[in-house]
Structure 1
Amino acid sequence: MTKPIGHFTSYTINDGSLLDSLQEEYGSTVELMTRREKLYLIQAIAIQLCDQSPGFCRDEIYVVGHQINSSLSLRDREGLLEALINQVRSSNSLPA
């Protein structure tokens, strides 16, 4: 079952924030967005967070990205995306 925006963020009901507006417009679980729109927002947020993170990617990571997109099933790519998000949120990464 999908959890509401507030489960993942600091959103408080009727707080007048952007998250409040998003929930009002697209539903508490953003169910009124298309899959493509959700993936676009994931991409937009990830690019911005990446740009703000210190350091550089090792060359091999670009190769791994290509391998992931060309070799893994849709379900495995979605699962890997979720695993990576969990790692980013818990900060279990090597220092930059």
Structure 2
Amino acid sequence: MSKPIGYYTNFTPGEETLLATLQDNYGAAFEKISKREKLVILTVLASHIGCQLEGDCRAEIFTIAKQMIEQLTIDDLTGMMEAIIVQIRWGQNFVVEKEELPMQQ
């Protein structure tokens, strides 16, 4: 079972914020939002945050993502998303500089 949004954010019940409105409209665990809609929100948020970060993205990362899409099940893809989100939030931040070479094969 999912935890309420307050577990993941600075939301405190009783506050009049966007998070309170979202919880009122869509449930404490976003149970009134479909899986497809949650993925759309995740895509938009990830894109926005990615544009705010410094550094570049190595070309091989797009290849890796394509391979994941082609070879992993939906359950494994969802698990990869969860693992990546945990690393984004709590892991170290490796910054790729322009002069770094692509992965050697």
TM-score range, shorter chain: over 0.9
- Consecutive unaligned residues in structure 1, runs of 5 or more: none
Q: What is the RMSD computed on CA atoms of the aligned residues?
A: 0.9
Task: Answer with 1 or 2: which has the greater Rg.
Answer: 2
User: What residue number does 2:8 align with?
Assistant: 8
- Consecutive unaligned residues in structure 2, runs of 5 or more: 97-105
- CA positional deviation for 1:95: 2.9
Post-superposition CA distance 1:31-90 (Å, at most 9, x none) = 001111111000010000001111110010010111111111111100000000000001
Normalised by the length of structure 2, the TM-score is: 0.88
- SS at the partner of 2:80? helix
Q: Which amino acid aligns with 1:86?
A: V
Normalised by the length of structure 1, the TM-score is: 0.95
Q: Which amino acid aligns with 2:91?
A: S
More helix by share: 1
Identity of aligned residues (%): 35
- 5 Å matches for 1:17-96? 17-96=17-96
